[in-house]
Amino acid sequence: MDDFTLRELMQTYGQDIWNYAYLITRRHEAADDIAQDVFVRAYMHIDRFRGDSSVKTWLLSITRNAAFNYRRSAFFRKVMPVGFVRLRGTVLSAEQQALDHIVTDNLWNIIMRLPQKYREVLVLEARYDMTLKEIAHLLGISEGAVKSRLYRARAKISNTLKEEVEYGTV
């Protein structure tokens, strides 16, 4: 891989890699480090890319491994702060923007409280537009398991939203 190809990969997939690392670690600094590490590893080990999946899936796989290694470290367990992610979107007015942020923050808070296995498949499908087959390949599970996890993730989100509406916490 030459420097130009590396730059192309970073421009094309950099934000996706960072977002996925953040999804797993919930830390900006960790996502920065992991994203950088992913591209260094890809550059150094391009010969290991067999073409069994897309380049994006390969990079996300490297990201996942690096992020889980980070999560397993003692440092992570000691300093993990609780936070949330905001989606960005276009809005027409200040009021609409404020409402959009409230709804988005609430939804992301719910998503981030899901167990890792549900949160991960949901985001890979919804945010990264990955197919069931690609998700299964990336996670090393069957497509049936991916379907099941997606169904359960959506059910948990739906139940949580219903409870919040019922108890007036929304």
pLDDT string in tens for the chain (170-residue length): 677 788 899 999 999 999 999 998 888 988 999 999 999 899 888 888 888 889 999 999 999 999 988 877 644 444 343 333 444 444 446 666 666 667 667 778 888 889 999 999 988 888 787 899 999 999 999 999 999 999 999 889 888 888 877 776 65
pTM for the full predicted model? 0.56
Residue among 74, 1, 70 nearest 35 (CA) = 70
